Amino acid sequence: MENIYVDNAGTTPMASEVIDVMDEMMKNVFGNASAVNAFGRKARQVLDNSRHIIAQSINAQNDNEIIFTSGGTESDNTAIIKTALKRQKQGRHLITTAIEHEAVLKPMEYLESLGFEVTYLPVDQNGLISLNDLKAALREDTILVSVMSGNNEVGSHQPIHEIGEIVAESNAWFHTDSVQAYGILDVDVQKDHIDLLSTSAHKLNGPKFLGFLYERNGLNLGPYLRGGDQELKRRAGTENIPAIAGFAKAVEIAQAHKHEWQKQDMTLKLHLLAGLKEAGIDFEVNGKCNEDELPQIVNIWFKGCPNDALLTNLDLSGIAAAAGSACTAGSLEPSHVLLAMYGDSPRVHESLRFSFGRYNTEAEIKKVVEVTAKAVKRLKEKAGR
């Protein structure tokens, strides 16, 4: 049985080039980057070079605006909780959206338990916030606005530039969770007035358990994890040099092929939708499906077909898709993203996410269409629909 992976929004396979770099580092650059001996200096050079590559990828003004973390979750928690605690004398109001990743929503809930007030902006059926809603929600005591760049379930791409301009005119700082967008879309923290930005390496064919937080010069959040003086005293813990070097390689590859892969992903998405339509499947796309959205993600409502049963059928046939975020896949709760977009609609329980990556082919998508169409028809016949 051929196994086909179309769950790249959950994680991506590591690129062979990244594996080669990490293998070389593990063999030959094992020193502690904080050590003053020759082994430490060699590790420090790799760390500095990697930081420079990544800083340039988002147009950071200074390499030291990049803080390496364990991934998107730590970066989001650091940006949100540290901002709130640092700026609470200036205000205790934060703004986010109803469709953020749990790594943003859970810290917001935590801050609410400490007495902070959070406004959750609604979204329309395309998964987009209203800029007028944002303007109306901003107050003198608003200290942070956190809006994700691209949604991990439906692929909606928020108007980050316009949001940044609005927030820049206020007292608030602007944070964006760019875990799904980074490496796929162009990111420019200067042009978009971004103060804090979170990423994760494993979403762009890099290693797991690694990411970075961009922190604009002058914010001075201080460490979230306390201990040693690593990362210029902003994040304690010995730096994972092999993984950081691998991350930098993944970023270099993504920067070189980003626009090529955007077109490839959009082509695969359109082939999937066209194939399902040709097969006579009754479906709708959740959100929009155009070049304004993340090209690698499509979320489809298979009308009258329970997503848990369909997902199981696909898995047994060798197709790896998803019913929502991989981080909440073990939960029986419906997708909070689809609930925010459509309310308590049948599509909340009848939708699957397909997400593409650099290693997917048109032949694979043809097979996905074939297997999915058969599974949908079989399940609907069983249900007498």
Q: Clarify whether 305 is annotated catalytic.
A: no
Evaluate whether 180 touches 149 at the Cβ level (below 8 Å).
yes
Q: How far apart are CA 287 and CA 300, in angstroms?
A: 9
Helix (H, G, I), strand (E, B) or coil at 66: strand
Of 35, 327, 339, 373, which one is the catalytic site residue? 327
* End-to-end C-alpha distance for the chain, whole angstroms: 29
Tell me the C-alpha to C-alpha distance, in Å, between residue 89 and each of 83, 98, 111, 141, 167.
11, 26, 14, 9, 19
| Helix 362-382 vs helix 307-316: crossing angle, to nearest 10 | 130
Instruction: Compute CA distances 300 → 23, 168, 263, 286, whole Å.
Output: 39, 36, 20, 6
Residue 93 falls in which region: left (phi positive, over 0), alpha (psi -120 to 50) or beta: beta
∠ CA(326), CA(329), CA(330), 5° rounding? 135
Query: Can you spell out the DSSP letters for 253-267?
Result: HHHHHHHHHHHHHHH
Could you tell me the CA-to-CA distances from 320 to 155, 312, 314, 371 in Å, in that order? Answer: 18, 9, 7, 11
Q: What six digits make up the tokens of 114?
A: 């400490």
* Sequence-distant (≥ 6) Cβ neighbours of residue 271 within 8 angstroms: 362, 365, 366, 369
Q: How many other C-beta atoms can be found within 10 angstroms of the C-beta atom of residue 284?
A: 12
Residue with tokens 């760019």: 178
Question: How far apart are the C-alpha atoms of 385 and 383, rounded to whole Å?
Answer: 6
Using CA atoms, how far apart are residues 384 and 368, in angstroms rounded to an integer? 24
What is the bridge-based pairing of β-strands 196-198 and 173-177? parallel
* Residue 17 buriedness (CB in 10 A; 0-12 / 13-18 / 19+): middle
d(CA 138, CA 25): 47
Positions marked active-site? 327
